[in-house]
Structures are given as C-alpha cells and as structure tokens.
Amino acid sequence: MRAYATRRLLLAIPTLVIVTMLVFFSVRLIPGNVIDLMVSEMATASGMGEELDADYIRQQLGLDEAVHIQYFKWAGGLFRGEFGESLWTGRPILPDVIRRYPISIELGLIAIIISLTISVPVGIYSAIRQDTVLDYGGRTFAIGMLAMPNFWLATMVIVYPSIWFNWSPPIRYMPFTEDPMANIVMFIIPGFLMGTSMSGGSMRFLRTMFLEVLRQDYIRTAWAKGLQEHVIIFKHALRNASIPLITSMGPMVLMLFGGSVIMEQIFNLPGLGRYFLDALNTRDYPVVQIMNLIGAGSFVFVTVIIDLSYAWLDPRIVYR
Amino acid sequence: MADSFDGGVPGRRGPPAAGDSTATTEEAKGRHWLTDAAVRLVKEKPLGSVGAAIVLLLFITGIFADLSWVGLPDVGLAPYHYNEVNMKIRLAAPSLDHPLGGDHMGRDMLSRIIYGARISMFIGVFGTAISTTLSLLIGMTCGYLGGKFDLIVQRFVDAWISFPMLFIYLTVIAIIGGGMLQLVLVLGISSGIGASRGPRALVFWIKESAYVEAARAAGAPTSRILTRTLLPNIMPVIILGMSMGMGGMIMAEAGLSFLGFGLPPPTPSWGGMISGPGRVYMVQAPWMLLWPGVALSLVIYGINVFGDALRDLLDPRLRGGLGSYRGIPKKKLEAIRRKSGEQA
Amino acid sequence: MLEVKNLSTYFYVEDGELRAVDGLSYHVDKGEAVGLVGESACGKSVSALSLMRLVPYPPGVIMGGEVIFKGTDLLAISEDEIRTIRGGQITIVFQEPTTSLNPLFSIKTQISEALTLHRNMDSQAAADESVRLLKQVGIPDPERRVNNYPHHFSGGMQQRIMLAMALACNPELLIADEPTTSVDVTVQAQLLELIDNLRTEYGTAVIIITHNLGVIARYVDRVHVMYAGRLVEVAETRPLFAEPLHPYTAGLLSSVPRLDLPRERELYVIGGAPPNLARLPSGCAFHPRCQYTINRCREERPELEEVLEGRYSACFRSREMPELRKS
C-alpha cells in the first residue's frame, strides 16, 4: 500500500513541474508592445502611480533576467509561500488568495452536492430501466441541463425575479459565521445553477458506467443466487460502479473552477474566480499566473487523492 | 490468407472493406454504409434524428444567412444585415416585420440570431477540425513511436489537461486578444492536446492486438494492416469526438464572449448578446436576452442528442447490450409471443 | 422431479429472431446425473438459463413451454416466487469463475449471502458454514482463506468456490455449465470427481452441460444431444457411445481422437459449420452437414421419437444407422 502511494505521489511531481513551467513561460509570450500598453493603462488607473513603468513591470513579471534563473527564483519563491505581488494593487497575492479561497470552496461544495444529488439517482435509475420512457426522459433531461448555458440561466435568474417579484439576490457578501441564513441564500442560487448544469454530464457518465457494471458476469451470479433486485443494485452494482464514480470527480473539480469564474462574476461573489477575471481584465499577470497554478495544482492534488482512494476501495490494488 | 484479413477488430462499424464477410442482413449488403447508418438513424433513433435535423438547420442557417461568399451579400435567409441600424425599432417588441424584436441599437434580432448561427457554425467546424487534426497528430505519433518520446509528451499532455480549460482560454485570449482566428486557434489547439489520448490509446491497442500479429504472420503488408485495422476503428472515435467536441466549442465561445474575452461587438455572437446589452436592457427588452440563449440551448442540445445516437449506431458493442434479468412484464411478454406467432 | 416441456427461448438481435432453444423437452429425476451435449452456440447454455428464468431481456425472451419443477411450472410463477427457488433449490455454476465472482467482496460475504437468504442463518452461523463448505470443496486453510478476495485464488479454486456457493443451500438440482472448459485438465478431473461425490452424498440431481464427450462418458447417466436448439438424440450413456442413432452423435463420437487407432489416420471432422440460428436450414437442421441425407431430410423436419426402448432420436434414418455406420 505504501509503495503504491509513494509511486503515485512521485508520478505527480513531473506533472506539477511542467505545470509550473507552462504557467511561467506563458507570460513570456506577451508581446513587447503589450507591456507598453500595460504601462499606460495601469499607470493612470491603478494606485501605483509613477512607480509603475515598463522596467518595473518587466521585473515583476520576471522578464528582466535570464529565463532559467528567473524560473528557479520564481518556483523557489512558490515553495516559500511567496506568490508575488499584484501589479494592480501592489499587495502580496497570497493573503488575497487565502481570503477568497473559502468562498469558492463553499460555492463548489454546494454545486457538487446538488450535482450528485441529481445525477446519481437519475443515472442509476436510467441504467436499471434502460430504454424505458423514464430512461429517455432522464437522458433528455441530462442533455437539456448541459445544453442550457448556465450564464444565461444565471442572468435570467438575477433579473426576472427583480421585475416580477421585486427581489434580487443579495449583493454584499455575508460570511457564514456572521449570518448563516443570509450566507446560504447568497450561495444557494449560483450553487444550484452550477450544480444542475454539471449534473447533465455526470448523469450520462454514471449511466454508462452503471450499465457496464450491470453487464458483468458477477451480476448474473447474484441473480442466480436469488438475491432481490434492490440488493443486487445497491450492494453489488453500486459498489463496483463507485470506482468510476469517484474518478469522475476529478474533472468535476476543473468544471468548478471554470464555473466559478462565471458565477462569481454574475452574482458578485468575492471568490477566486472573480479574482482571476478581474486580474485578466486589468492584465494583472502575476495574479493570472498564480490562479492558473492554483487551478492546475488543485486538479493534480485531487487526482492523487482519488487514486489513493482506489486502494481503499478496490482490494485488488492493495494486493499488488 | 492475408487477403481475408478483415481487421478482425470487434465492434468496428466503419466502411466494410472488399471481401468483408460480416455484412449482416441481405438488404444491407447492397447499401453503402453511410446511407445504411442514415436510414437506421431515422428508423431506430427518433430523438437522434431530431438532433440531426437541428444540426442541419444550424448549418443551413449559417451558410445561407447571406450569400456574400458568392458575392451576393443582399441575398439570404437573414432579412437584414446584422449591423443594419434602424432607430425606429430600437428595443421594439416582436412584431410581424421583426419577429424577434429589435435590440438596443435598433438592429433586427432575427437577423442577428441568424448571423449568430454562422458564427457558431464557424467556431464549431473549424475549432473541431483543428482539434481533431491535432489530437490525431499527437496521439498517433505518441502511440506509434512509444518509448521516451511518448513518455515526455504524455507528461506535457497530463500537465496541460490539469488546467481548467476556461482558465487556459481566458489567459491566452488575454495575452493575444480576441477575434475569430484567435478564438478558433485557442479552442482548437487546447482541446486537441487533451483529446490526443483517445487516438493514442487506440494505436497502442492495435499494436498489441492479436489480429495484427496474425496478419503480419500471414504476410499482410503494413499498409493493408493500417487501412483494415486503424481506419475502421478510428472512424467512430473521430466522428464521435467531433460531434461532441463541436457542442463544447460552441458553448466555450459563448461563455468567452459572455465574459468579454471572445468575439468583440458588433459581431453577433450569441454569447456576446447575452452579456452586455442583453443584461443591461433586460427589463425593457427581455427578448434580447431570450433568443440567443434559446438558440444556444437548442443547438447544443441537438448536437449532443445527435452525437449520442451516432455513438449508439456506430458502436455495436453498446447497442442493445445485455438487458436486465428482472423479467418481462406479462403484457409485454404476451405481445412478443403474439408477434412471433404471426410471423411464423 | 424436473420436467421440461417444449421450452422455447428466442433472442431478438440484428439478424432477426434467433431460435436458441426451439421446443426442448426432457426430464431429470431425483439424484440423477444428466448430460447436455452439443457444439458451441447450439443453445445448451441458454436452455439451462431458461430453467431458472435467467435470460436477459433484451434481447432474450422465453417464448413458450413449461418447466415443471416438483409440480410447479417455473415459467408461470411470479418473480418473487422464482427468486426463492433460485440459489436455494436450483443452483447453477457458470463457465467463467473469474468473472462470475464479484471482485470487491470477500468469499465469506459472497457465500454467506446465499446462506442468509435461503437458510435463514445469522451472520456468524453463515460464516462458519462458509468455512465448512470451502473445506468440503477442497480449499486448503479455509478458516483464513474465507476472508480473501476472488483474485487471491487460482481459476480452479475459483471454480470450486462457485461450486461451494451453489451447494451452500443443498439444492435439489445443480446445473453445471461447462464446468471444465476454463480450467486445465488435472483440475477438470478433480472438479468432476467433486461434483460426483457431492451428488451421491446429498442426492442432488445434476445437469452437466458440456461439449466434452469424455466428461459425459464418465460422470453422467443419461445423455441429451442438442443441435441448433433442439434435441436430436437422447439415450443412456453406454448405449449412446456404443451405438449412436443420430448422424450428428455419430459424427461427434468419430471426431474424438483415439489412442488405439493408427496415428497416421486423418482426424475426422464433421463438415460444414454450425447453422445460423436465425436462418435455419429447411427440414432437418443438420441435413447440410449430414453424410446420410435423403430428399426427405430437406423437406420435412424430423421429430424426436422413441426408436428403441429408452432411446430417442430425431432422424428419419435412425433405424438404419447401425448398418449405415458400418459402411
């Protein structure tokens, strides 16, 4: 077991290294004239005033020294928790990230819970009643969910109730500790929207996986033993399908990142997605870099956790 | 014996090569496999046919929005040019002249939606084309060469797919700016890298396949092995990838335009129409927000449903499959027995 | 104890209506060992699955007939009722033990399931009984190994575990579907001996499905030969081997390589290939491959008739067979 775990962790390292390199070198692609543009744009608008000039920007972006030296300096800095400073505000990035992380996590959690609550029962039901009206209904519903752009629905959700009921979602962020009810109200709508739009893809995937499991010989053996249908489904089939189910959580994390950018913007939540978008709009590249790093890094982290959980779920792996 | 090598791969449903012994029904022997698939689509998968119809509609609308590509910009499906301003219909409700209303700059919504179809079609087609080509290139090279090359490239691919796609799109667009060409390239290349794993896995599978070994032992030349094994198997993968990928591309472009990182106005991108003016004028002119969203939903829905049906048709392994051991309800059983009795 | 009357099971696939089982009738008495022989894809496995109503739908449908087990027609009773019989009174051992065991559950769990369901045991009693069953089928160190998972065992041992599971509830009838096909020869012999011993000890009737005539010869009292979904010959083992009355049976017997004949002799093969069950030949299903065909064979379909006492055959020329074979 330990061997498997260490091996899995070791495999993740080259991926992470390449991630950091990609993130770092993406900045180097910025055409020179863009830097000058940044200077003029930002000097006037940001709070940095005169200190902001081309050289300063270049230095902040790490473009002034030789490539490899800068890379190692930057990567080394990451280890020490030095995430650099925002070009826009001049403040260090790390505290901002830490402040905003919980918001995106809360949003993501709600989205995942809702997504699973919808997709698991519908997916399983669709699989065990394959090709019935309900199956087609379930699949149509799933595709419908993923076909409707969540930003469209979100926009409509914001405006139409304000026209009809004179109500709009709260604007000011309320931390959970201060006022749980207000907090939930604030997050539930974007979370719900994100969750439902994700549930479409999940449901189809689950259905396919479940069908695959139901086709196996050991399910036939279970029937031959005279077990009842619900035992076969919820004990045998579900257990075997849970492994691919957990696997699907990995890409879900990526979808959460993407979704959070949109949702936080529409619903005015001060999370990481919002931070990222604002940084993009102000060409605040140090922040953009760090956000990309967080996105990819989270995925790698989650994937490792998922792989390790296989060992717990599947006795065959431990044996190896 | 090398002549009778049919690729032997289970589940293939591609163009049957000459001398193919696996043609099923008598009728199918005479038909080209494309027509066969089309007929089966309509007969067996009504929902998929609806999807196909929607996709067809998208293409027709997109191509024939106007005929500027043959030098006739004033002829076409769109009643007005997408940028044609008529202040009288500013924020006007739907009417006979303007069935979908007018937007905040006095442009006909119907025409803008129609031209929007052209945009989505472009993005979908070209983005997918680039993506598919790239994925095949990378995937097959890695699969074929294997070894160190594969190892290194795969690490890169793994790192690439660790990024949330939207993040990549946004970052790159932020650097190089928006626009049709940039968008198509970014969407195409990004998804192509990730999609390379499919063809790569296929090539590995073929390399290890016993059928290929047998063919080699029988003396079949590599070219024949490739055409009989690789091609028929890669077709369903490609077709499916393309059909699903197209939906994703269109949605991605819509999202990017929504966030302001896609196609700049006045380009009639559906996503762009939803954000910006759509939101601002929602109260006064809700149709500005409604139609683009409906169009997007419809198109992506159709693409996905069509793609699903296509997959079911092309991959016989998934067709029918094994049902349940639950038992058949009495009424249904009797119906089946009666039907069989009548045929006998 | 078991009487199958006119059983028919069809599969609805791309090719059309596949008649896997077409009017099958036979019986099994208490404690008997009966064999079901035939080539691959002749419907023998499907017929066994049909007894227990384990035919997946889609694509399979049990079209008609009766399966009278201890006075009750199994095809007519409700789902709940057949469920109590499955795994308890009629059990089946499948061909591929590796895939037939759930990889994520321990052996103890999988055997106990049947015990708690049919014999109403509590978990401790079931656990103890599982150990005893493993010992009975010859798994060494059963107390420890009962907690292992399927992948910890070899193919032969997995098959024994399947057997243990099948016998856990003292069934009246055990169906062994190609019990030897996926294991090697030494294990084959052990398994069959095991089944035989358990049969005599518990009085369980056994239906052995196989294409291996050697298995039939030694372990079975009566043989049913199947071809294209129907029975073509039924006889007791000895007489069948001594004097087959159906050309197909004769062909099968001739195909067995023999050590007592000169090595240079060419191996005998029944010409042609098994028919497509969706498009059966006219008349007798075997006639395209039969060396004794006459015109009648092409036009009429022969029924299974009692040709001699206790011997049934579905061939118009059965009575002539002894003579025909000499020539």
Opening angle at CA C269, ends C264 and C273, nearest 5: 155
List the single range of A262-271, B8-17, B297-306 with lowest mean pLDDT.
B8-17
At residue B16, the pLDDT reads 34
Could you tell me the two tokens for B48? Answer: 């998929």
Is pLDDT at C66 greater than 70 in this prediction? yes
Query: Does residue B9 surpass a pLDDT of 70?
Result: no
- CA A183 to chain B, closest CA, distance in angstroms equals 25
Facing residue for A143 by CB, picked from B163, B254, B301: B301
Please say if the pLDDT value at position B22 is more than 70. Answer: no
B251/A14 touch (CB, cutoff 8 Å), yes or no: no
Give residue-wise pLDDT tens across range B242-288.
Answer: 887 898 899 999 999 888 888 887 888 888 888 877 667 777 777 78
B324 touching chain C per CB within 8 A: yes
Q: Per the omega criterion (within 30 degrees of 0), is the bond before B266 cis?
A: yes
CA distances from B57 to A144, B253, B297, C294 (A): 18, 19, 14, 62
Helices (H), chain C: 44-51, 79-85, 97-100, 107-118, 123-136, 142-145, 155-167, 185-202, 213-219, 237-242, 247-255, 295-299, 321-326
Whether chain B has a CB inside 8 Å of the CB on A301: the answer is no
Q: C53 by DSSP, 3-state: which?
A: coil
Residue B299 has pLDDT above 90, yes or no: yes
Beta-carbon contacts of residue A105 (< 8 Å; ≥ 6 apart): none
The separation between CA C93 and the C-alpha centre of its own chain, rounded to angstroms, equals: 10
Q: Scanning every residue of chain A, which has its alpha carbon at the shortest distance from the alpha carbon of C51?
A: A224
B319, pLDDT greater than 60:
no
Confidence class of residue A50 from pLDDT cuts 50, 70 and 90?
Answer: low
Q: What is the DSSP string of C216-256?
A: HHHH-SEEEEEETTEEEEEEEHHHHHHS--SHHHHHHHHHS
Residue range C251-288, pLDDT digits in tens: 888 887 777 777 777 777 887 888 888 788 888 888 88
Q: What are the tokens at B233?
A: 């198997």
| Region at B179 (left for phi over 0; alpha for psi -120 to 50; beta for the rest) | left
* pLDDT of res. B298: 93
| pLDDT of B221 | 72
Q: Which chains touch B (3 or more CB pairs under 8 A)?
A: A, C
Cis before C58? omega within 30: yes
Q: Report, as an integer, the average pLDDT of C62-70.
A: 87
Q: Which of B271, B283, B292 sits opposite A159 (nearest CB)?
A: B283
pLDDT digits (tens, 9 = 90+) for C209-253: 988 887 788 888 999 999 888 888 899 988 888 888 888 888 888
Give residue A189's pLDDT: 87
pLDDT in tens, B159-171: 899 999 999 898 8
pLDDT, mean of residues A65-92: 74
Q: Which of A247-256, A301-310, B32-41, B229-238 has the lowest mean pLDDT?
A: B32-41
- Tell me which residue in A211, A280, A300 faces B162 most closely, judged by beta carbons: A300
| CA torsion, ordered B255, B259, B265, B269, to nearest 10 deg | 10
Residue B343's pLDDT is 63
Q: What is the pLDDT of residue C293?
A: 84
Would you call C17 helix, strand, or coil by DSSP?
Answer: strand
Q: Is the pLDDT of residue B25 over 70?
A: no
For residues C133-155, average pLDDT: 89
Cα–Cα distance for residue pair B290/B292, rounded to 1 Å: 6
Model confidence at A282, pLDDT cuts 50, 70, 90, reads: confident
Q: Which residue has the higher pLDDT, A314 or C15?
A: A314
Nearest to A265 among B171, B259, B283 (CB): B259
Q: Which of C102, C120, C153, C174 to mutate to test the interface with A (most CBs of A within 10 A)?
A: C102
Phi, psi (rounded to 5 degrees) for A277 = -65, -45
List, in order, residues 6 or more apart from A234 with CB less than 8 Å away.
Answer: none
Q: What is the CATH number of domain A100-272?
A: 1.10.3720.10
pLDDT of B23 reads 38
Average pLDDT over residues B78-90: 76
pLDDT higher than 90, residue B48: no
Q: At A134, is the pLDDT very low, low, confident or very high (cuts 50, 70, 90)?
A: confident
Give the pLDDT score at B34. 66
CB contact under 8 A, A224 and C91: yes
pLDDT band at B8; cut points 50, 70, 90? very low
Helix (H) or strand (E) holding C5: strand C2-13
Question: Mean pLDDT over residues B122-147, rounded?
Answer: 89
Out of A223, A226, A313, name the one closest to residue C118 (CB).
Answer: A226
Task: Identify the contact set of chain A against chain C, taking CB-CB distances under 8 A.
Answer: 131, 216-218, 220-228, 236, 239-240, 313-316, 319
The arithmetic mean of pLDDT across residues A302-312, rounded, is 85
How sure is the predictor about C91, in pLDDT bands with cuts at 50, 70 and 90? Answer: very high
Distances (CA, A) of A49 to A45, A62, A87, A88, B198: 8, 20, 11, 10, 51
Of the segments A40-54, A288-302, B309-323, C7-21, which one has the largest average pLDDT value?
Answer: A288-302
pLDDT of residue B130 exceeding 90, the answer is yes
pLDDT above 50 (res A216) = yes
pLDDT attached to residue C101 = 92
pLDDT of residue B333: 77
Which of the residue ranges A10-24, A210-224, B293-307 would you say has the lowest mean pLDDT? A10-24
* Mean pLDDT over each residue of chain A, to the nearest integer: 81
Contact criterion met (CB below 8 Å) for A209 and A241: yes
Cα(A197)–Cα(C86) distance, integer angstroms? 43
Q: What is the pLDDT of residue B261?
A: 87
Give me the pLDDT at residue A178, please: 65
Closest chain B C-alpha to C277 CA, distance in angstroms: 13
Residue whose entry in the numeric block shows the structure tokens 């699955």:
C49
> What's the pLDDT at A60?
66
Domain parsing of chain A, residue ranges: 100-272
Predicted pLDDT of residue B193? 92
Say if the Cβ atoms of B340 and C53 lie within 8 Å.
no
Predicted confidence (pLDDT) per residue in B186-198, tens digit: 999 999 998 888 8
Side chain identity at B297, as an amino acid letter?
S
Kindly report, residue by residue over C281-326, the tens digit of the pLDDT: 888 888 888 888 888 888 888 888 888 888 888 888 888 878 877 7
The predicted pLDDT at position B21 comes to 34
Percent of chain A with pLDDT over 90: 8
Residue that wins the pLDDT comparison between A48 and B76: B76
Q: What is the pLDDT, as a whole number, of residue B15?
A: 36
Which one has a higher pLDDT value, B206 or B229? B206
Q: How confident is the model at residue B147 (pLDDT cuts 50, 70, 90)?
A: confident
Q: Do residue C61 and residue B343 have CB atoms under 8 angstroms apart? A: no
Q: Taking residues A253-274, what's their average pLDDT?
A: 88
pLDDT(A114) > 90: yes
Domains of chain B, CATH where assigned = 37-310 (1.10.3720.10)
CB C102 within 8 A of CB A221: yes
Query: What ipTM does this complex have?
Result: 0.87
| Local confidence band at B234 (pLDDT 50, 70, 90 cut-offs) | confident
Residue A115: is its pLDDT beyond 90? Answer: yes
Q: Is residue B3 scored above 50 in pLDDT? A: no
The token duo for A64 is 């002034």
Mean pLDDT value across residues B21-46: 59
Interface of B with C in 24-53 (CB under 8 A): 24-25
Q: In whole angstroms, what is the distance from residue B298 CA to residue B254 CA?
A: 13
Full-model pTM: 0.82
| Residue B5: band (very low, low, confident or very high) from pLDDT cuts 50, 70, 90 | very low
pLDDT grade for B326, boundaries at 50, 70 and 90: confident
Tokens of residue C115, six digits: 């015990």
Q: Do C103 and A220 touch (CB under 8 A)?
A: no
Average pLDDT over residues A254-271: 88
Burial label, B74 (beta-carbon count in 10 A; 0-12, 13-18, 19+):
exposed
Whether the predicted pLDDT of B2 surpasses 60: no
**Average of pLDDT values for A211-240?**
88
Terminal Cα distance for chain C, rounded:
42
| Mean pLDDT, residues B6-14 | 37
Q: Are A19 and B254 inside 8 Å of each other by CB? A: no
CA–CA separation, B13 and B27 (whole Å): 16
Determine how β-strand C33-37 pairs with β-strand C222-227: parallel
* pLDDT of B134 higher than 90: yes
CA nearest to A106, candidates A42, A189, A46: A189
Asked if the peptide bond before residue C59 counts as cis, ω within 30 degrees of 0, the response is yes
B contacts of C17 (beta carbons < 8 Å): 340, 343
